[in-house]
Structure formats: structure tokens, C-alpha cells
Amino acid sequence: QPFDPGNFLIHAVSNIICSIVFGDRFDYEDKKFVTLIKLLEENNKLQNSIHTQLYNFIPTVMDYLPGPHQKMIKNIEEVDKFTFKIIAEHQETLDPTCPRDFIDAFLNKMEQEKGNGHSEFTVETLSRTTLDLFLAGTGTTSITLRHGFLILQKYPEIV
């Protein structure tokens, strides 16, 4: 029976990245996880609109104009809330001697750099970096796996 492995691959890859970055995996039916994936997929589609591309060039003007870029901004704000919540939970339960994941390692480095006024190790940077790792890793890895499956289907003698 034919099927599209796209959603499964995105969920699997996202969960692996979550375990590295957030230190926790999510159930595939977890509402927060599913919502996060939907927001990211929607933003991938919205990035192709001319409004979103114009927003990258003239954001101050586009902030006042309606269009799909406004939805993308709201989606990013929702993802930021999700990330900041996880960071806050990590800050409360941090054990500097035993980092659990990327966030803990970053928080430890923030503590080391506390006296440095020029440090780039801030909660905002942590949130952005976490989001970058999550977005870049999820999209590229799941697409690479999809293409790998396609090649294996086309050339079964390779296996």
C-alpha cells in the first residue's frame, strides 16, 4: 500500500533533535509537539510568499501591512514561547555538574560569562540558537531522508 513517509520522518527527526537540544523526547501525539511541528511546516510554506520575502528587505514598512508574513511572525512568537518555557524549566532544575542537553551546556557557559559585559551568552541568544538548531536540523534531515528513500525505491538493486 503506498504511503507518504513525510510526516513520520519529520516527527522522528524532530524528536531526535528535541532529545539533543531539550533533553527530552515527545510522544508523537503530544499536543505541544504536534502544534510545534505544524507551526514550523506552516512557516516553511509562508516563506515562499512575496510578502514574506519583502518583509526580509523592508521589515519596518511591512510591519504595518497585512499579509501572510503577519501569520509567520505570530507563528515564530508561538515557537519562541515554547522555547522560553523549556529554557525557564531548565534554569529551575539546572545541575551545573551534570548537563543534560544543549540548553544546560549553554546555561553553564552563561554562568561562566556572567561578569563579561560583551558576552553573547544570553537567554535570547540561547532561544535563537535552539530554534536555529531545531529548524535547520528538522527540515534538512527529513528532506534528505525522503530523497534517500526515493533513490532506494528507484534503484532497489543498491540495497
* For the chain, domain boundaries: 3-156
Asked whether the beta carbons of 67 and 48 are under 8 A apart, the reply is: no
What pLDDT, on the 0 to 100 scale, is given for residue 89? Answer: 93
Instruction: Encode pLDDT of 103-142 as tens digits.
Output: 999 999 999 988 888 888 999 999 999 888 888 888 889 8
Q: Which residue has the cell 545541575?
A: 95
What pLDDT, on the 0 to 100 scale, is given for residue 102? Answer: 94
Q: Quote the CA–CA distance of 94 and 108 in Å, as a whole number.
A: 9
Give the C-alpha distances (Å, rounded to integers) separating 137 from 10, 134, 159.
10, 5, 26
Q: Quote the CA–CA distance of 42 and 141 in Å, as a whole number.
A: 18
Position 144: which residue type? T
What pLDDT, on the 0 to 100 scale, is given for residue 110? Answer: 92
Instruction: Encode pLDDT of 23-42 as tens digits.
Output: 888 898 889 888 988 988 88
Instruction: Encode pLDDT of 66-91 as tens digits.
Output: 888 889 889 888 988 989 999 999 99
What pLDDT, on the 0 to 100 scale, is given for residue 109? Answer: 93
What pLDDT, on the 0 to 100 scale, is given for residue 65? Answer: 84
Residue 116 neighbours by CB distance under 10 Å: 9
What pLDDT, on the 0 to 100 scale, is given for residue 48? Answer: 81
Q: Which residue has the cell 531548565?
A: 90
Predicted confidence band of residue 6 (pLDDT cuts 50, 70, 90) = confident
What pLDDT, on the 0 to 100 scale, is given for residue 106? Answer: 94
What pLDDT, on the 0 to 100 scale, is given for residue 115? Answer: 82
Position 79: which residue type? V
Handedness of CA 62, 66, 71, 74 (dihedral sign): positive
Asked whether the beta carbons of 135 and 18 are under 8 A apart, the reply is: no
Q: Which residue has the cell 522555547?
A: 83
